[in-house]
Amino acid sequence: MDVVILAAAHAPPESGVSWRAELEIQGERMVDRVVRAVAPFGPLVIVGGPPVEGAKFVDGGSKFVDSLRNGLAAASGDPILIVTSDVPFLTTRSVEDFLDRCDPVADFCYPVVRAEACEGQFPGVRRTTLRTRDGEFTGGNIALVRRGFIESSMARVEAAYEARKSPVRLASILGWGLLARILFAKMAPGTVTLGGLEKSVGRFLQASVRAVPSDFAEIGTDVDSFPQYLLVKDLKISPDSTENTV
């Protein structure tokens, strides 16, 4: 299994660094903290951002999907673990737990983190959540994918990503049925299940998709803006613990 770390996001001018992955938490660049967490799982490919010793480096693309494509092309393993570089509290234990829970024959496994775990561990950090019959969840920042699936589905993934901010465009791509289920989950969470969403997304991607529930909040706690960085930069968490203090 190869590990592809997406690190091509630029940092805002006020941060004083070029890449978001270079922002420091407890005196370490975010990308270095992520590398430490995932290094035990296979050869590393860094896409964009600052080079990291011991990892293969490839240029990022002008868009997220281009960076993803570059990273997959540089990886040789199967399956492939995809991780973003902006999850500075990620731990080896949380990644190992996710991998242990993944369906070994699924094409695409994606963690969904329980909202109560996130609020308990990282109170006040803003996140997008979805209520279902199985609980309230936020998406994680890692995924386990099969090479054949991601190569055959890249066009669909790219189309959905490009349309992510337009409900009408997204519905035309994903199908009104899937979008209706997501919207319905917000209004009547007791009627929508993770299993139902899995099937809908799987039909769109033409693949076997698995949502992997997790109580490891660090998987779903990313730093995607400078204000968010200022909020979390003083949190202290050890590499082998999920407890934090301010």
Per-residue pLDDT of 213-222, as tens digits, reads 999 999 998 8
Average pLDDT across each block of 10 residues of the chain; the chain has 246 residues. List them in order: 94 89 92 96 94 92 88 92 94 96 94 91 81 86 91 79 62 65 65 80 86 94 81 61 37
Number of C-beta neighbours around residue 94 at 10 A: 24
pLDDT of residue 228: 78
Identify whether residues 8 and 66 lie together within a single domain: yes
Let me know if residue 238 belongs to a domain.
no
pLDDT of residue 158: 77
Please, what is the angle between helix 64-74 and helix 147-162, to 10°? 170
Q: Which domain holds residue 33?
A: 1-88
Identify whether residues 83 and 121 lie together within a single domain: no
Number of domains in the chain: 2
Identify whether residues 117 and 197 lie together within a single domain: yes
| Model confidence, pTM | 0.85
Let me know if residue 78 belongs to a domain.
yes
Q: Determine the Cα–Cα distance for residues 13 and 172; give it in Å rounded to an integer.
A: 36
Helices (H), 75-206: 92-101, 115-121, 147-162, 167-174, 176-187, 194-205
